[in-house]
Amino acid sequence: MASDWYCYVVESEWMPADLAGAARYTIVLHNRSAAPLSGFRLGMSGPALVVAEGPHQGCSVVTKLSNYCEIAPEAGFVLAPGASWTASLTLAFPARHWTDGAFTAMLITSDGQAQAVLTKPATNAGATTPPKRGVIRHPVAEPGVAPYAVIPWPNDVAAKGNRTAPSGLTLSAGEAEGQAAAAGFADLVGHLFPGEALVRSAEEGGYPVALAVDASLGAEAYAISFAAGSASVRANGRTGLLYGLITLGQMLRGARLYPQSFTFPTGGSISDAPGMEWRGCHFDVARQFYASGEVAQFLRTMAWNKLNRLHWHLSDDESWRVEIDAYPELTSKAAWRGHGMSIPPLLGSGPERSGGFYSKAVVRELVALAGSLGIEVVPEIDVPGHCYALIQTVSTLRDQGENGQYFSIQFFDNNSLNPALDRVYEVVETIFAELIELFPSPWFHVGADEVPHDAWDSSPQAQGLMSRVGGSEARNLQAYFLQKVQAFLTQKGKITGAWEEASEGGGIDKANCYLVGWRNVEANQRLAGEGYDVVVSPAQRYYLDMANGPDWFEPGAAWAGWSSLEMTYAFVPDAGWNAAERAHFKGVQGAIWSEPMTERAVFDRLVYPRLSAIAETGWTRPESKSWARFVGSVALMPALYGMRE
């Protein structure tokens, strides 16, 4: 096999049904080498879900798991030098965006060896605009739209006067809390804006800012007073002081980088406090792995947006991402995927061993960093569904008497922990106990989403349990499982978090949990009406894997539609709720599901600046919001990778 990866090139095209009959997804392999190719298979990895049984043309599906499949031409086929092989495949769902297609392809020879080949982004027969990557550019506001560039906008701005922007801030604090906030702010801006020297000494022209603790203010509130040549920040503690400094830093950057659009005050004040208790973002590191440095930088972008909850999605069908002493095989096996491994290349992975996990030492470092930024880290281990990687690795979790097969919506087979097995609870409680030692936050999220409706139908033990607990559906067994898991977490002093499905089949204890409503906007109000504390995160507006628009050239998913920045910003999470329902409204949360984020530039385009729109909804009173002001300042907000279109 040739060593040059561009000797073999894979192209793919989606043909919508309305253009030429039946919809089809066409794969073309070009042999640009000098040798004929025979006895091969083509492995493909990407968000696209191929239907194993077809119908297909020009190929057969040899193996398939979720979004990974291998196809082969008919027996005896030889691909001559300079020639191409074409196959048409049936997909489970229509392709809507360029990231839906195969992202990585590999040639697999008859001896089982695999080699990555050049794989071009999928095209659409009716679209010609090149694929978009990087954060969408938004122009800075014209003069007069807003005096200061601050996101989220403070709730009481009474600043006045104008001056040229300070060159940097010189911070002084007497109390330990103030000193910690000053050090945290210096570290924060040093990582987010290296080279800008936003914190500098008085000798280098810094603008004096005094920090002081004021116990009369709320936990996250702050107050800034401006004078002609200095400012002071007061807050209850470290987090409030940090938020005040972030507001000052944003004002300084706006006035310094765009002096014709923004200014800096010489008097007056800003008094500010968050509108919502829960201002968060879910971060899926299971589908795509993000190194500890990337997670740390994401925490910093959250802090700059005054977000205070990281919902850290650490496990799923595709992988396991955190060290567990009792089960070292979870990180030696389930954290990795590749050709010939128990978990094959998925979601853009190549044939090489790829992935990773977070050691306990790294988790402690990240949790400590988050705490210094005012962020609580909520771990999620998704059970009883989305457990393919866990079950493949800890084989004793299988019901040996189960003789059937069921599939999740992502086409993983038999991926749900069996509620009838005592061994399941032993494993889950052992894992959770280790993680509780790592995460001091009061919340522990257990997933509980997307369990297949026919899960455990062929398990004699599960069906025996069903007859004892009552009901006739998988969700009845799931409720039994979740109630036992919640009882364990409650005994450990934790509040159980879960996705909205935890309310089904009998539900879990409402007094010691919160649920995240995700399937549609209405679900959140329904859950609150049932008495559950609710974090609002509907896929139609707050799932940041959904594309920014309907066009093919936009990356992202489409199963819940799409949401532009303005649509995300305008969404009112508790619209139409009554007083009793609002009593259960905890706040809002964005959700980063990383399936389509096969490129880091795609991550930036999907997450930013929509994350800032969610942050402003969580912080700023509705009557203080302004789309014109927000969109005119959003270009100043940081992105994880700093990639712009």
- Which two structure tokens, joined as six digits, stand for 62? 């040899």
- Which two structure tokens, joined as six digits, stand for 391? 């079950």
Q: What are phi and psi of 11, to 5 degrees?
A: -120, 150
Q: What are phi and psi of 562, to 5 degrees?
A: -150, 165
* Other CB atoms within 10 A of residue 585 CB: 20
Angle between helices 292-304 and 360-372 (to 10 degrees): 10
Among residues 283, 284, 292, 289, which one has the least CA distance to residue 336? 289
Distance in angstroms (rounded) separating the CA atoms of residues 534 and 37: 57
Distance in angstroms (rounded) separating the CA atoms of residues 387 and 66: 13
- Which two structure tokens, joined as six digits, stand for 542? 């707050």
Distance in angstroms (rounded) separating the CA atoms of residues 300 and 620: 20
The contacts found for 396-399 with CB under 8 angstroms, 24 or more apart, are 396/423, 396/427, 397/421, 397/423, 397/424, 397/427, 399/456, 399/459, 399/460, 399/461, 399/462
Distance in angstroms (rounded) separating the CA atoms of residues 23 and 522: 32
Among residues 199, 198, 238, which one has the least CA distance to residue 222? 238
Residue 157 carries which DSSP code?
Answer: E
Q: Is 234 exposed, middle or buried (0-12, 13-18, 19+ CB in 10 A)?
A: buried
- Which two structure tokens, joined as six digits, stand for 164? 């040229």
- Which two structure tokens, joined as six digits, stand for 451? 């369990």
Catalytic residue among 196, 450, 473, 530: 450
- Which two structure tokens, joined as six digits, stand for 219? 């936990």
- Which two structure tokens, joined as six digits, stand for 555? 């990356």
* Other CB atoms within 10 A of residue 39 CB: 14
Among residues 454, 513, 457, which one has the least CA distance to residue 482? 513
Q: Is 284 exposed, middle or buried (0-12, 13-18, 19+ CB in 10 A)?
A: buried
Give the angle 248-251-253 at the CA atoms, nearest 5°. 110
450 is catalytic: yes
User: Is the Cα torsion angle 315, 320, 322, 323 positive or negative in sign?
Assistant: positive
Write a three-state SS string for 125-150. CCCCCCCCCCECCCCCCCCCCCCCCC
Alpha-helical regions (H) of 305-393: 329-332, 360-372, 388-393
57 - beta bridge partners?
Answer: 88
Q: What is the largest distance, in Å, between two alpha-carbon atoms of the chain?
A: 83
Burial annotation 346-378 (CB, 10 A radius, 16+ → b, else e): bbbbbbeebbebbeeebbeebbebbbbbbbbbb
* Cα 551 from chain centroid (whole Å): 22
| Positions marked catalytic | 450
